[in-house]
Amino acid sequence: MVNESVWLRPARRERRPLTLDRIVAEAVALLDEEGEARLTMRRLAERLGTGSTTLYWHVKTKDDVLDLALDAVFGEVPLPAAGAWRERAAALVTGWRAALLRHPWSTGLLDRPLMGPNALERTEFLYATLAGAGFGGADLPAAAFSLSTFVTGSATMQARDPAGDGAAVAGRLLAHREAYPVLAAHGLDPDWDAVFARGLAYLLDGMAARTQP
């Protein structure tokens, strides 16, 4: 019969099979475009051409999707190949910050255990770099945690600032100039790159001085 012709049958919307990788990639795209509040199992499934309940064969919960999306961001952080320990640590940490800021929603997920393979690989790299530089005993975890804490904290702080213009904060501060005089005079619209670079220098200087006197 004519109406069984290939051309008349509704085309399969999606030929590619649904995989975990496709789900994670689409979740990252959705988060990039619309932010965390709009990430819904139903909306995510819709973008993939299925129903929301289909996702649950590939994934146990929505939290899984978020964990995987976050680790995908960590996967974008390059591992610097060579250099002295200080340059390698600085390069790692700078690339780490850039990846987080490319996906500002990621800073809202930095509570929750970072146990994905990409996150662990970067942490291991940091530990290995510092251990190789002579950090030992209590200085090794202290140095490693200080650096990673500094990255995640400063990316969060910057992502918090809407569109980098500091308009909202500025308005609130200027309205209460007398209550926050120093902050209003010097804390508006900081140059985030410069703040990060200088803060990192403080930290690395302090680390170097304590372990290599």
The footprint of DNA (CB under 7 A) covers 17-18, 39-43, 50-54, 56-58, 60-63
Residue with Cβ nearer a second copy (22 or 62): 62
Q: Which of 41, 28, 50 is nearest to 106 (CA)?
A: 28
In the complex, minimum distance from the CB of residue 4 to a second copy, in angstroms, rounded to a whole number: 51
Residue with tokens 């902050």: 183
Residue with Cβ nearer DNA (41 or 89): 41
Q: How far apart are CA 7 and CA 197, in angstroms?
A: 60
In the complex, minimum distance from the CB of residue 110 to DNA, in angstroms, rounded to a whole number: 20
In the complex, minimum distance from the CB of residue 52 to a second copy, in angstroms, rounded to a whole number: 20
Q: Which of 95, 86, 34 is nearest to 203 (CA)?
A: 86
In the complex, minimum distance from the CB of residue 6 to a second copy, in angstroms, rounded to a whole number: 49
Residue 153 contact partner, candidates DNA, a second copy, none, CB within 5 to 8 A by sort of partner: a second copy
Residue 131 contact partner, candidates DNA, a second copy, none, CB within 5 to 8 A by sort of partner: a second copy
Residue 41 contact partner, candidates a second copy, DNA, none, CB within 5 to 8 A by sort of partner: DNA
Other C-beta atoms within 10 Å of 148: how many? 19
Residue with Cβ nearer a second copy (25 or 184): 184
Residue 42 contact partner, candidates DNA, a second copy, none, CB within 5 to 8 A by sort of partner: DNA
Residue with Cβ nearer DNA (58 or 86): 58
**Residue 142, burial from CB neighbour count under 10 angstroms (0-12, 13-18, 19+):** middle
Backbone angles phi, psi at 110, to 5 degrees: -80, -15
Residue with Cβ nearer DNA (62 or 86): 62
Question: What tokens appear for 210 in the block?
Answer: 């304590």
Residues in the chain: 213
In the complex, minimum distance from the CB of residue 90 to a second copy, in angstroms, rounded to a whole number: 13
**Residue 74, burial from CB neighbour count under 10 angstroms (0-12, 13-18, 19+):** buried
